[in-house]
Amino acid sequence: MKLRLNQRNIPILATFAVFVLIYIVGSIMYRNFFSLRVLVNLLIDNAFVGVIAVGMTFVIISGGIDLSVGSLVAFTGVLTAKLVSVYHVHPLIVIALALAIGAALGFTMGNLIHHFSLPPFLVTLVGMFLMRGLSFQLSLSSIAIQKNPFLFSLTSIGIPLAKRLKLPLGTAIVFLIVVAIGIYVSHFTKFGRNVYAIGGNEQSAILMGLPVGKTKIMIYTLNSTLCALAGVVYTLYTLSGYPLACVGLELDVIAAVVIGGTLLTGGAGYIEGTLLGVLILGLIQTFITFQGTLSSWWTKIVIGILLFVFILLQTYITKTSSLSARKA
């Protein structure tokens, strides 16, 4: 019996190959590159990006896009820092408020996209400007979070892995939990199956009687809620809020999702691949840091090249699939 490789699985296999290749080359060239500490730092440094990328994966699989994520993270950071440091509101109340605002934004954008048939690009572009403007309304400068016992405990509590090394709760563990939930939702729930169906062919999904409108609204609500959660993670990571934070973050997130094997045309993709895509972005930055003489801008150059290669791969797969469907 011959094993046949599904063409839609080629991008995630290519992502895994790139991840392994970078790790092998880095381990050969630099001492301690292949170490538990480097892996833990990858999870910590890229936790907020990864949390957003999980939500963005659902959006792109459905055939949509969301440009508001970076601005929402900045708004959440400024809101959290100001309420906690200036007004001394308990962090749990602030976190709940931030998540509620994120959910409300996503719910509103989802309704506009569905009920008024507006392009997701334009609706989320409005969301991007709105949240960035509100960030500056809260503060024109950076706000440092003063010593708050609860927030500092979130940054210090974690799972011990080795001497002076632990997996912190407020960043890495939250990231891994969100990834695990995302994998479960995408593979084992009705919502996940509906997302794939809408991205594969929305008209067919409508004819099948699937709740297309409700699912679209839920997708954007979920994504914005995760963005607000990522804003909390980012605040714990930097212990500050800054209205100009995360400018262009939406492009990094989209790059991570695409490099992770999710088709820009929708209908195919895996949260597992997105996890690898986020780690690849972090590995490239780590590789350049270990090298020591290259500018950090090389990270953007390498990511751009990888993104270009994966877009070409996706184009080839899409055309091949179309030709196969016509012949069938």
pLDDT in tens, 92-131: 999 999 999 999 999 999 999 999 999 999 999 999 999 9
Binning pLDDT at 50, 70 and 90, where does residue 306 land? confident
Is it the case that residue 324 has pLDDT exceeding 90?
A: no
Of 108-122, 199-213, 239-253, 286-300, which range is least confident? Answer: 286-300
Q: What confidence score (pLDDT) does residue 297 get?
A: 77
Q: Residue 233 above 90 pLDDT?
A: yes
The DSSP H or E segment spanning 57 is: helix 47-61
Choose the weakest-confidence range: 89-98, 118-127, 232-241, 294-303: 294-303
Q: Residue 259: is its pLDDT beyond 60?
A: yes
Residue type, 315: T
Among 23-32, 38-47, 105-114, 317-326, the range scoring the smallest mean pLDDT is: 317-326
Least confident of 110-114, 117-121, 137-141, 314-318: 314-318
How confident is residue 14, by pLDDT bands cut at 50, 70 and 90? Answer: confident
Whole-number average pLDDT of the chain: 90
Beta bridge partners of 159: 167
For residue 225, give Cα distances in angstroms to 34, 54, 173, 230: 34, 11, 18, 9
Measured CA distances, 209 to 60, 214, 267 (Å): 22, 12, 17
Helices 91-115, 149-156: inter-axial angle, 10-degree rounding: 80
Model confidence at 1: pLDDT above 50: no
- Tell which phi-psi region holds residue 41, choosing left (phi > 0), alpha (psi between -120 and 50) or beta: alpha
Cα–Cα nearest to 213, from 107, 103, 123: 107
Q: Which domains does the chain have, with CATH numbers?
A: 7-323 (1.10.3470)
29-38, 108-117, 126-135, 224-233: least confidently modelled range: 29-38
- Is the pLDDT at 2 greater than 80? The verdict is no
Q: How many angstroms separate the CA atoms of 10 and 261, rounded?
A: 8
Kindly tell me if the per-residue pLDDT of 320 is higher than 80.
no
Residue 300: predicted pLDDT: 84
Looking at the predicted structure, is the pLDDT value of residue 3 above 50? no
> Does residue 38 have a pLDDT over 50?
yes
- Beta carbons of 70 and 128 less than 8 angstroms apart: yes
Rounded distance between C-alpha atoms, residue 275 and residue 259, angstroms? 10
Write out the DSSP string of 127-191.
HHHHHHHHHHHH-SS-EEPP--HHHHHHHH-EEEEETTEEEEIIIIIHHHHHHHHHHHHHHHSHH
The whole-number pLDDT of residue 328 equals 54
Whether the predicted pLDDT of 281 surpasses 80 = yes
Name the pTM for this structure: 0.92
Q: What pLDDT is attached to residue 156? A: 81
